[in-house]
Structure 1
Amino acid sequence: MQELDAETQLPPEFSMYADVAQSGEFNKLRKRLLRQMRQAIDDFGMIRPGERWLVALSGGKDSYGLLALLLDLKWRGMLPVELVACNLDQGQPNFPKHILPDFLNKHGIAHRIEYQDTYSIVTEKLPETATYCSLCSRLRRGHLYRVAREEGCSALVLGHHREDILETFFMNLFHGGRLAAMPAKLLNDEGDLFVHRPLAYCAENDLARFADAMKFPIIPCDLCGSQDGLQRNVMKAMLDDIEKRMPGRKDTMIRALTNVRPSHLLDRNLFDFAGLTPKEAFSEAAE
């Protein structure tokens, strides 16, 4: 992986950094996020030079950070792809329609604002007591796939981070009875678009600090972000408690997802237990 420039000065031509206080602490944070993002991009083979990527921009801290860090890597010549930001206006009440276009135009970022009233569909189909995340996410993803195709993009890039991946793993473990998380790279069912998650190694707290320092105009989610009792919130609280009691465990869990031993699990589709010979069985037991 190409090394990041050790120079602490912010890129003078990168307007998003213009109003950021140039401190050693911020530059250390920025460099760490860039290094982790580039590591994920390299580890999962996301780059095919000359491609065009659609970057989903919701207006939350994670998607702002995703876009800024991708543009930073591109500015450094470390991301040879074309980037197009896309916000899907889902028709939520009181959604400030001007914020994202103003931000993107201010910084000269290629973008598309797509209006699709998925809010009405979700609220009509589900009772008020239901959580909206799953249906809302499926509708949003379908429209983003369509926009990606219309824009000639080969990949949809999403802002899921380390905690999102771990929360999904434990939701599947506790509620779905399966070992599965979020892949950093996925080919869609149709086989024509990749889904990339370059923030897979990045900590949510780091992204929150980055967004705060960058003074991004954050737009809260008034649809599902305010709902209490979501399974994901329970998983988040559990993981935060584990990290508080045993610092560093989140990083250890992420490493565990990269170090799977099928022979030490119980899935007969992943490992041929019935076909073990005595010699193989002895070798496995000695590990």
Structure 2
Amino acid sequence: MTTQAHIPAPPPARHKREADKLAKRLRHQVGKAIADFGMIEDGDKVMVCLSGGKDSYTLLDVLLQLQKKAPVRFSITAVNLDQKQPGFPEHVLPEYLRSIGVDFHILEQDTYSVVSRVIPEGKTMCSLCSRLRRGALYTHAAQHGFTKIALGHHRDDMVNTFFLNLFFHAKLSGMPPKLLSDDGKHVVIRPLAYVREDDIAAYAEARGFPIIPCNLCGSQENLQRKQVSRMLAQWEKEAPGRIETMARALGDIRPSQLADPKLFDFLALGRHSDAPLPDAHAWLAGAPAEPEPVAMALHPVRNHDGLDILKS
């Protein structure tokens, strides 16, 4: 009888070294994103949106570490929106936040009932849920004077969103590291913009965050975003490093090599005259162009004296 060999677990010291290296890498990547995009400045009141997932836990944890050594002074408040989902463990986040001594606030708004009532069974809930959640958080930020709203989206989210918009919405747009809300009242920042999701998962496990799964829409397997995620995962499996390459491409845009006349003046490119160009209607109608004046050909003819004369 063959018995399976026992493989000893790595020594704890090795785990600690790896965890320290990972924490250092995340601090560097988050600090670089903050500096590259001017996410946080002196005197900012930063509202960190905490969902209970690995991404927002990691965001809060790294920002608290950077706050201690930052060249500017800023405050951090963790804000969670309790959407009244059945079975949501309301005690988990308050207990964790008190244990680390961070300022926090729990908003209570029954968006679950609204989404469940409005969205037909089997349809995607994410869009409406996201709008309601965003509205509640924006309102809270305005009422309490927060100058920045920090979200836990990471590098993979940004690449995923780019392809989601490309494949399903026919536009080249994504999830920017920093943006101004449509009403111009809020600045949203994504300090995890340079961080890999795999690193966040490893960091969350090493730190032992009390993860709360989202049961509202987690069972909807046919979401467009999940389709894109599966595609990217397959690409990464076939060619490791491809997602990183695509993420870098999002920061290296060449408008002259795309096809948007609003971003690049294609009309002026290579023009040799200031004459107005015909509009699209003329091209589509196939209107003939004005005929070019034809020059008369002159032919030399000899007279009786043998001299050349010009004859048309």
Q: 1:107 to 1:21 in 2, by over 3 A?
A: farther
In 1: Cα distance, 2:74 partner to 2:184 partner: 20
> Within the alignment, does 1:150 sit opposite 2:162 as a pair?
no
Deviation at residue 278 of structure 1 after TM alignment? 5.6
Partner residue of 2:223 out of 223, 230, 247: 230
Compute the TM-score of the two structures, normalised by the length of structure 2. Answer: 0.81
Q: Deviations over 1:209-250 (max 9, x none)?
A: 000001100000000122111111111111111111111111
Specify the code of the residue in structure 2 equivalent to 1:163.
D
Q: Which runs of 5+ in 2 are unaligned?
A: 1-12, 273-312
SS of residue matched to 2:79? strand
SS of residue matched to 2:70? coil
> Within the alignment, does 1:204 sit opposite 2:197 as a pair?
yes
In 2: Cα distance, 1:21 partner to 1:57 partner: 31
> Within the alignment, does 1:62 sit opposite 2:55 as a pair?
yes
Specify the code of the residue in structure 1 equivalent to 2:17.
G
Match of 1:184? 177
Deviation at residue 79 of structure 1 after TM alignment? 5.5
* Higher relative contact order, structure no. (Cα contacts within 8 Å, ≥ 6 residues apart): 1
Match of 1:170? 163
Deviation at residue 189 of structure 1 after TM alignment? 1.8
* Aligned CA-pair RMSD: 1.5
> Within the alignment, does 1:96 sit opposite 2:86 as a pair?
no
Match of 2:310? none
Deviation at residue 129 of structure 1 after TM alignment? 1.2
Query: Paired residues, what number?
Result: 260
In 1: Cα distance, 2:257 partner to 2:14 partner: 50
Deviation at residue 22 of structure 1 after TM alignment? 6.9
Partner residue of 1:121 out of 106, 114, 125: 114
Q: Higher mean Cα deviation, 222-231 or 172-181?
A: 222-231
Partner residue of 2:104 out of 96, 111, 134: 111
Q: Percent identity?
A: 52
In 2: Cα distance, 1:95 partner to 1:228 partner: 21
Specify the code of the residue in structure 1 equivalent to 2:28.
R
Q: Deviations over 1:34-76 (max 9, x none)?
A: 1111111111111220110110000000000000000010122
Q: Higher mean Cα deviation, 71-80 or 189-198?
A: 71-80
Structure number with greater Rg is 2
In 1: Cα distance, 2:46 partner to 2:25 partner: 23
SS of residue matched to 1:87? strand
Match of 2:38? 45
Match of 1:84? 77
Deviation at residue 192 of structure 1 after TM alignment? 1.9
Partner residue of 1:276 out of 263, 269, 273: 269
In 2: Cα distance, 1:78 partner to 1:233 partner: 39
In 1: Cα distance, 2:264 partner to 2:80 partner: 43
Compute the TM-score of the two structures, normalised by the length of structure 1. Answer: 0.88
Q: Higher mean Cα deviation, 78-87 or 230-239?
A: 78-87
Structure 1 segments of 4 or more deviating over 6 A?
none
Specify the code of the residue in structure 2 equivalent to 1:243.
E
Q: Is the CA contact 2:115–2:128 (under 8 Å) kept in the aligned structure 1?
A: yes
In 2: Cα distance, 1:89 partner to 1:21 partner: 39
